[in-house]
Homo-oligomer: A and B are copies of this chain.
């Protein structure tokens, strides 16, 4: 069984221009009626009086991409989608920058919206990715997903 393993990782933050390019590429797909997009942005949380200035993301890339291939197939099987794109940042992402971009498209909105939501949940729960929250003074703590 040969699966195409697509890379989802991007070194550094995801720029708004990258997102608009991705949106623009769908104008030729005229069966699409609805796009649903989720963006994760790094939050400047306060932790014990210190502000998070950035998050450094690392991954077990081989395992993450295999897992993502499975998730992608299951989502395509469950929802009627025209397409589906996922990008996750690696490296240091500053507060206010975008670190996750999940993009689903369908002829009708319910499929696009539900698929996008489920993808976000699964990415957070199932992908071997770790965020290290780096504070102003250089201290850090390991992010915990809610």
Contact = CB atoms under 8 A, between A and B. Distances in A.
A36 to B, nearest CB: 6
A20 interface: yes
B39 A96 contact: no
Contact of A28 (B19, B34, B96, B120): B96
Q: Chain A interface secondary structure, helix, strand, loop or mixed?
A: mixed
Nearest to A112: B38
A110 to B, nearest CB: 9
A56 interface: no
A29 interface: yes
B108 A113 contact: no
A141 to B, nearest CB: 16
B38 A36 contact: yes
A6 to B, nearest CB: 22
A87 to B, nearest CB: 14
Contacts of A24: 16
Contact of A27 (B32, B35, B97, B146): B97
Interface string A39-79: 11111100000000000000000000000000000000000
11 contacts: A16-B21, A17-B20, A27-B97, A33-B40, A34-B38, A35-B37, A35-B38, A35-B98, A36-B39, A38-B109, A41-B105
